[in-house]
Amino acid sequence: MSADKQLPAPQQAVNLPRHIKKGHQLVFSRQDLSAREADVFALMMAFMSPDDWNQAETPKYTFKASELSEWLNISSKYVAGTLSPVAERLSTRTVGIKNLKGDEGEFDYIPYFKRIQYKDRMLTITPNDELKSEYIEYNQGFALINAKNFFGLKREYSKRLYEILSRFKTGGTHMPEKSIHELKGLFGLLDENGNLKPNRKSFANNGVFMKRCIRESIEEISTNPETKKELIFFQSPDGENQGIDLIKRGKSIVGIEFLYSWVDKGTVQELNEIEAYKTIRKLEGKRANNTKLTLDELKLLLMAYNAVKQTARAKRVEEAISKRAEEEMQRSTAEDLESLLSKIDELEQTMDDPDY
């Protein structure tokens, strides 16, 4: 890989960056990209840094066929056949950026790239200057997306959900409830007027949307050998849904709350085997002495068992985490209700016990 910025010469090996960094505005934009298109865009973002723009000309990012083959898991014989049409389609793609100064539902649709070309076994990408602030400004926060794991996911909607959930990794942050309409926008199903695109009419049925964009994405992320080590989805309080709690108005689903936790608090670092064995010995020793492990300790134990490929034990710990998280959620709800009723009792003492 090479670019206008100071990078190693083309003949030198370049490692794939550990993370893809995307600002909040870009993460929560309206994107309609296939899996391969999302990979190419993410590859550019993985190598982009604010310093790239400290020059007169727009930066360019150039990737050799051998790098694309390795990082995107494409047979070297089929790199051209796979990526040439992808580059052609990407040259016309736009991204919907939310207009922060306008009405709530306003989005500006801007082309991703100034130019993108696959020629002579080289992919050259020139980003659009109009998106400079969305590409490199992080004043609203950002997502650190594990690059290798992102490229390892197969489905476009799985990649999109993984990217969105990566925005909320650190302690104390969690993705707020999202309406079905907003989620359809995030998954690239809506046009500039907020209506379903002509080729996405089947998603008018919320059951189709839930299956293809949400449930199948959660299924892939939670069963992928790598992403399942870092991201856990919990059962809903009613036990009917994995990773989501449905918000309903009558019988209609109007929104979703995602029920998940990042195992390692956003560091995205796996334990090596020696550290894993030490962790297992320590925490299983506590359990053997009838000491109940904390939720954070259970998450660490899960990561340790995954590191040494003890799938069956990891599954048992994962089930315990899900159960514990549900218990804590119910306890918190009960405590909130008790506090509310106490305040109502105090208020009624100052009143003449009015009827309902």
Contact 83, 64 (CB under 8 A): no
Among candidate residues 152, 174, 202, the one where a domain is terminated: 152
User: Do residue 39 and residue 145 come from a single domain?
Assistant: yes
Phi, psi for residue 311 in degrees, rounded to 5: -60, -45
Residue ranges making up the domain that contains 278: 270-356
Residues 278, 215 share a domain: no
Residues 295 and 330 occupy one common structural domain: yes
Residues of the chain with pLDDT under 70: 1-13, 100-105, 170-173, 264-272, 329-338, 340-341, 343-345, 347-356
CATH number at residue 16: 1.10.10.10
| Residue 76 sits in the same domain as residue 180 | no
pLDDT in tens, 313-354: 888 888 888 888 777 766 665 566 667 667 666 766 666 665
Residue where a domain terminates, one of 198, 230, 263: 263
Looking at the structure, tell me whether residues 110 and 182 fall in a common domain: no
Q: Is 248 left (phi over 0), alpha (psi -120 to 50) or beta?
A: beta
Instruction: Specify whether 23 is located in the same domain as 88.
Output: yes
Whether residue 176 is found in the same domain as residue 101: no
- Taking only the tens place, the pLDDT of each residue in 22-44 is 999 999 999 999 999 999 999 99
Neighbours of 100 (CB within 10 A): 8
Domain termination site, one of 131, 152, 173: 152
If one counts the domains in the chain, the total is 3
Residue 280 tokens read as 């297992």
Both 280 and 240 in a single domain?
no
Q: Give me the residues paired with residue 127 across strands.
A: 113
Q: Which pLDDT value is given to residue 145?
A: 94
**Residue 148 · residue 17 · CB < 8 Å:** no
Do 234 and 194 belong to one domain? Answer: yes
